[in-house]
Each structure stands twice: as C-alpha cells, then as structure tokens.
Structure 1
C-alpha cells in the first residue's frame, strides 16, 4: 500500500508538532475547566503533543486530520472537544445520536467508551457502545433512550440502521479512530455508506497512527477544509523502545518464550493466527505461566473477560492475534513479544506500540528461526528499526539480560483455579452438560496432577534456568507480585 501524504482540501493547512514540544495546560488551549478537573484524578494534567496540536482547531469546530502513533493520546484528542462542544446543546433524541465515533474492533470501541466515562460524569452527556458478537436488544434500548455519544463498529451500526433503530441525520460530530486500520480491514465501503448518511455540515475528525492511500479517499470526499496535525509519527520508532531479535529454532522457541513470560511484569505475545494464539496460550499454561488468549474465534464475553483478567493482573501474559495490535490500552506493559514475526512492517509497529506508552520505556522481542532471519531483516528495514540480533536467543544469559528478574511458575491446578473466571464460554454464555462434565474432569485431573507432581514441576521449571525456583517459591509468588493494573484505559492518556 502506498503512503498517503495528506493534502488539505480547499486550502486547509498542515501543522507538524515535535513530540518534545513544550506542553501547554489544557485550559490554555480552550478546554473548559470542568473537563480538565475530570481528568486530573487519572493523573492527566497536561496535554500530549497530539492533543496540544489538535485541540484549538477541534474545539473551534474545524475538520481535523490527526496523525499520531499508538499511545500518543489520540483518544482524548477527540473525546475532549466532543464533550466540550456537545455540553449545553440540544437534548438527545430517540434513535438520533448527536455524535458518532467509529472504531474498527470491539475491544477498541469498549475502551473508547470507558475513556469517555469521566467526561460523561462531569457533563451529564450519555453514551453507548454498539458492536457485533452480542445481542442487539440492550443496544437498541439505549438508542431509544437517546444518546449523545455513540461509539460503534461499522458492521453492527449498518445493521441497526437497516432495521430502523439508528438515524444519523442528527449527527453533529463524527470521529473515525484508527482510520488506516479501517482501510486495512476492508471497512472503507461500510464507512463510506455511513458517512453518506451523516450531514455534510457535521464536524469530522479522523485520527490514525499512519495515513495511507485508503484514508485519502475519505479525506478528499468528506472533510471540508481540514487541518492536518502530526505528532509522534508512527513512521519513526519510539526512542525509549528497545528492539531485539532472538534466533531460536525448534523447541528452543517455546522454551525461550516460557522463560520470558515467566518473568515479572505484564507481557503481550503476538501470533499470526487464531489457532496459534490458542495453542501458545495453552502451552504457556502447561508450563506454569498464567496466560490467556485473545482472538476473533472467542465469543465477545470471553474476549472481554480475558482482556479484563490481563488488565487486573489475574493473567500475566496475553497471547493475541493482530486484533489486539490496535487500540488496546493496558498500562505498564513493559514487554511485547512477536512469537511469530508479522507479515509486514506496519503490523510490527502497531503490535510494538502496546509497550512504551505515555513516555514509558519498553522492550520488544522478536523470535525468529534461522530460516526467517532474512525476512525479519527486511521487515525491520521497512519499519526503520535497527534491532539487536542475538544468535544464541535461547541461552539463559541472553534471556535474563533482556528480561531480568526471577521467573515464577504456577502449578497446573493453581492456574486452573486462577483463570477459571475467564474460561471461554460459548456465544450464548452457557456451558452444555457435556462441556461441564469435561470441564469437571479436566479440573480433577489438573488438581490430581498438581498434587502428584509438584516436585517434578519444580524440576521441569528449572531446566535451562539454573534451577532457581522450587514449588514453595512458586506458590508464594502467586504469579507476579505487585502486578495488579488498573482496568481503566483512561488512566493512560487515551
């Protein structure tokens, strides 16, 4: 895909802002004091570069095209002016939302809605979220009550429009988040159908980490005299992000991955396929790591539960497909592992963007076999990354150098009990009798295995790691001490 260089329509201007530009206070940018105070409890007291760049224009009602890397604060760059401009306006009417935020994935839609909650509490503005994979009745009832801010995925939104449950003729503000991802996922036809129903005079804001050719179609047709702002460009690697490539072959791949994920801290592991994510998560659990999966084959309830468990530290490793590479906000993720190198450099950048957020440092590790080294070199070159390559990637010395600290392993029964609350269920949220029977059988085997082979498990866990851990240390570790995270995405700057 060719790179889209934004050209402002009808003479619009383009402004670039360096990430090290001095931050101005929110109130100096024109934001109402009440909204500023609403963010203060989350530690958000000064704007990020993308927020400082866009807020004056978005508060003034201009169409805005904002480019900023993942984690740069784009969410509040559009949620804050939306709340400010809608406050004090007309009351929300049934089926006619006042503003619309389009998001490519369910997880992102949910996190955008959570980010709006403190602003909703301050202003009294209502919001709701609609997406597929769950029943539509609660969403329809919320729309009937009237909604100020509607956060939606394109597919379910068009479905509800077709049924007559949504009327976009009252939209005053339209936002498209992760606009380039919309293009990558083939959403552009659906997005255009939605935009065709939004009033031409509505304010429109597009935010993205990159601006590709597909985004240009939307910009040129639907935005009027847009102002283009760029900050924390995704085209450049983050200065505080260290990149490493570990050469691992055969069984060394899983051994290295297990050692990495058993260290203290939250880790996100990426695989190319849904089957791969399921398999790797299971393998990690079998080896004493509290890992869960996140991919499209899970029901929405299971995806939500697994992500929440990772947020709050119940699960210390999340094994995900690229569905989680965009918009998933988890505080203090210090490590991202590409268990499977991605197919193209944009995916690498967005996956890696799960760490080094909000000015924090992070480490990115790519596991690659000897045969894949050439492909990985080309990938890094395209991403403008110069990683440190470790030819002996499975050695304890290298692994402890990159991911220092003790390794903690849980017995199988401990992991079963710990993650039972997030065991994936069928779409209807109910287990069948056969599934319950199998689950009880597995639990019994897991408990029996844990009691029978606790000493053996300690021996297995210590192979290749200098025999550091024993079963009592694992039990007392309880996973990763002091590693509970806030589940609110608003605690990072959007």
Structure 2
C-alpha cells in the first residue's frame, strides 16, 4: 500500500471560515507553498521570514493572517493596527485591492497611503480609522510628520519586497517607521533575496523568526525560458516592433523614462497598441495605463524598472529586455512579471555584439541558463522563440473611452427651450441655460441677462449682469454707458477703467448705492440692493 500525499487546504491553516468560504467563492481552494508554510505561524503571532520570488502568492500569505488578527477589534482614529510597507505605488494599490474583498467579509478596513495621490483623501481616511494601512515609506513619513498618523498602536508590521525597498534607498525611512510601532509587535518580512540590508533588518527587528524559503533566492523557474538574442544595432528597432506586434501581452523593459516614451511612440506609429509606464508619469496616468494593459486595450507595455517588481498582470507570457538591467537582481525581478503562479513564460534579452560578455555575466550571476540565438528581422527563428510577426506599419489610434453622462441638478441636462441646465430647470434658467434663447443665464432667466444670456448676446435688456445681454465687444456691465450705469449696473459700474471708486458702479449695482468698491464710504462689500 502506498502513501498518497494530501494537498493542504485553506480550511486547515487556522483561517476564519468566512475567509475560507470567500476564497472558495473566488476559486482559490489550494494554497501555494509559501501560503501553506507561513499562514499558520503568522496567525499564531510569530515573526515570519518568507523567501520566495515574486508571483509565488506572498500577498495572501501575509495578508490573510493580518486581516484575521485585526478583526478582533477596531482601530482608533489615525492609529492603524497593522502596517504593510511596500516599495512602489502600484504594488500598494495591488495589495490593497487584493485584500479588500476578504477584509469586507471580516469587517476590517483597509486603506492606502502612497505618493502621487491626494493628501486630503488619505488624511480623511486615516481620521475615519484604518485597521490595515498599506503604505510607501516616503508618503507615510510625511503624514506622520504632519500629525495625521500615529504608529503607536501597530501590532503587526509587514515588509513586502524588502530587498527592493533597500535597493531603492528606503532603508533609513523603513528603520525610522519600524522604531515607532508597538515594541512587542509582530513582524512579517517577505523578500526574494535575504542579503545585505535585508539581513540587517531581520537581525534588528525580528525575534527568532520562523524562516520559510519556498524558492532559492536566485533560481531558474522551471516554467520560464530564457533566451539571449544577438542582434545588429541597425536591426534592433525593427526586431522590437515585430516582437511587440505578437499576439498576447508583452512587457518590454528599458533603462530610462525617455527611452520608454520614445520606443512606445515608435511602436504606436508602427501599429502596435502600446503605452509607456515609468516614474515620471502621474499616479492617475500610471493607474489608467495598467488598467488598459490588464483589460487588453493595449497589448504591449514599455516600462522602466518601476514596473519590475510587485506588479501582477495576468497573461504576460513574454518579457523583453530591450536594454539590459544593471544587475542580476533586476534581471530576476523583470523576469518575475511572467511565469507567475505556475504559468509558463519566456524572458528575451536583446544584445548587440559589444554587450554579449556583459549579458553572459549577468545571466551567470542570476543563476539562469539562456539559449543563445543570432536573429535578423523576419527570421522564422525569431517567430519561433517570441511569436514575432510583422506589424501593420499604420499608426495605431487609441479608441476614445465612453463618456459618462452628465446631468444637472435642477432640470433637463444642458437646459431646455427656456430654462434648464446646471441648477436650472425653471423659468429662471440655469448655468448657461439655452445660452442664446430667452431664458437661461447664470441663476437668472427673466430676460435680465446672466452668464452669456440675452438675445444673441447683443440685445440691450433691462437687467445686465456678468456677460449678460451686452454687445459682444463689451467686457462687463449692461446697456449703460462705459460698462454699466443702468438701473441694475454691472461689475465695477460706470466708472472709467482707471478709477477704483467711481460714483455709480458697484458689484452688480449701479444706482449710486455703492456695493463692492463702489461709492459706499462704509466699505460694505455687499449693498442691500445688490443681487449677491
């Protein structure tokens, strides 16, 4: 009789049944090795050191225990109970989104604090109370200095992609933040490598951690192929275009923001649905670009190393190094965008004749073996290795996104035959109303002018107002002399341009009754006869 290995299940790891049910509802029934190894220890309150490559399931490995422990009681205003530190904005959003569905089941609030987003929104969210805070070190440090956040109640600290945070120079900020959390708290650290500054963090902030290494720090993933394509400099751009035009999602890495934008534009002109991603773009643009890539509206993404770690997009089956990375760690993390969670993928590096020795040393340090090929544009071998095909060479035009309908608060959208528009709807019109008809106008519609109101903007009516029924050439006022002077007046009334306090004038007033900077010696800003 032979023993049969029993695969672990989430319901045997100590998680709440509500979480297990939600995982099953999402089709997640069997934990990845890093999850099966670390979740029980994390739930028991032990310090955990997890070593595994990106894409191995680390987010749920630390996220589910954190949610479970934070469900016991709610956080106070501006005092989170758990802190998850990550190196990049994109990774912060990814972790937040991955955990929110499970947090909702337990009644746990998850918030994020990252650069490039509104301070006001983040401060308000912290004031309302956040149980689990996902943050980048720089923005969190800013908010703490402003008094908007206090880490004194943090009982669980998580460092995700710790090696990248150290490589990016965040070591001093990370240390300052960890010094502020509860001294008897729990620390979970996850990293692809455990050398250098990461080892110092482990020794300083972790107490006899349980170590789980499901992948060697540098290893060749069995589902990932590596290829070194030797190309001539004159052929490189054409080969890049043919590879990018392939079927499926492709991410292409370059060394600088300028290169990312330039190559992306070249691919668009060649007919490839493509966009660039780098740290020089605003957070909103980066978020929209990643959404387009995930949804398949673009098939190629040209990125700097800002996208090399922590970004998960399903279905990336090819990573292309247009420019070689500076070190073997960057090579591994770039390649980690494909062959994730058991899927297959390939990493292709384009090298010129004078780069071959550097490339071989880079691959050796990364611990991978790559097949080497000499290719030219249009070669069958290029198509066999990468799926390359000839692009259309007709510029790709991105289809416009559907517009959301806008509706006014007081009537038919954009006004009706007499009134309507923004805050309109009645005979007194609304914002821009029908613009040239009888009604409409800025909060005014009884043939008394208003914002761009009146008969064809030129008929002299009774009322006037800001750009009311004055002739097109006038700047302010109504039908009176020199910009005002009628019974209702206008902005700055009928005084000459150089006067500050004319006799008539006044803000929407002109009957020698003062108003805003009119002839009212009392200095009243608003007269009883004025409309505002």
Indicate whether the TM-score tops 0.5. yes
Counterpart contact for 2:243–2:386, Cα < 8 Å: yes
User: Alpha-carbon deviation of 1:313?
Assistant: 0.7
1:135 aligns with 2:96: no
CA distance in 1, matches of 2:7, 2:132: 28
Counterpart contact for 1:315–1:419, Cα < 8 Å: no
CA distance in 1, matches of 2:305, 2:186: 31
Distance 1:139 1:90, change over 3 A: same
SS in 2 for 1:168: coil
1:50-449 map, 5 Å: 50-87=34-71, 89-404=72-387, 409=392, 411-412=394-395, 414-417=396-399
User: Alpha-carbon deviation of 1:420?
Assistant: 11
Structure 1: unaligned runs, 5 residues or longer:
1-20, 422-494
CA distance in 2, matches of 1:392, 1:142: 54
SS in 2 for 1:133: coil
Distance 1:272 1:35, change over 3 A: same
User: Alpha-carbon deviation of 1:41?
Assistant: 3.3
Match of 1:38 among 22, 42, 48: 22
User: Alpha-carbon deviation of 1:348?
Assistant: 0.5
1:444-459 map, 5 Å: none
Counterpart contact for 2:157–2:186, Cα < 8 Å: yes
Match of 1:15 in 2: none
SS in 2 for 1:169: coil
CA distance in 1, matches of 2:162, 2:93: 17
SS in 1 for 2:98: helix
Match of 2:32 among 43, 48, 71: 48
Counterpart contact for 1:49–1:232, Cα < 8 Å: no
User: Alpha-carbon deviation of 1:234?
Assistant: 3.7
Match of 2:528 in 1: none
Higher relative contact order (CA 8 A, sep 6+): 1
Say how many residue pairs are matched.
Answer: 399
Q: Per-residue CA shift, 1:366-388, capped at 9, x if unaligned?
A: 01101101110111111111111
User: Alpha-carbon deviation of 1:292?
Assistant: 0.6
TM-score w.r.t. the length of structure 1 is 0.78
Which has the larger share of helix? 1
Match of 2:446 in 1: none
Distance 1:22 1:308, change over 3 A: farther
Q: Per-residue CA shift, 1:25-68, capped at 9, x if unaligned?
A: 01112122211221223322111011111111101000111101
CA distance in 1, matches of 2:146, 2:25: 41
Distance 1:51 1:379, change over 3 A: same
TM-score w.r.t. the length of structure 2 is 0.73
Q: Per-residue CA shift, 1:348-403, capped at 9, x if unaligned?
A: 01000100011011011101101101110111111111111111253421121113
RMSD: 1.7
CA distance in 2, matches of 1:419, 1:254: 30
Counterpart contact for 1:314–1:419, Cα < 8 Å: no
Q: Per-residue CA shift, 1:132-155, capped at 9, x if unaligned?
A: 122200000000000011000000
CA distance in 2, matches of 1:156, 1:420: 33
After TM superposition, the runs of 4+ consecutive aligned structure 1 residues lying more than 4 A away are 405-408, 418-421
SS in 1 for 2:152: helix
CA distance in 2, matches of 1:192, 1:334: 37
**280-289 vs 24-33, greater mean Cα deviation:** 24-33
Counterpart contact for 2:241–2:391, Cα < 8 Å: no
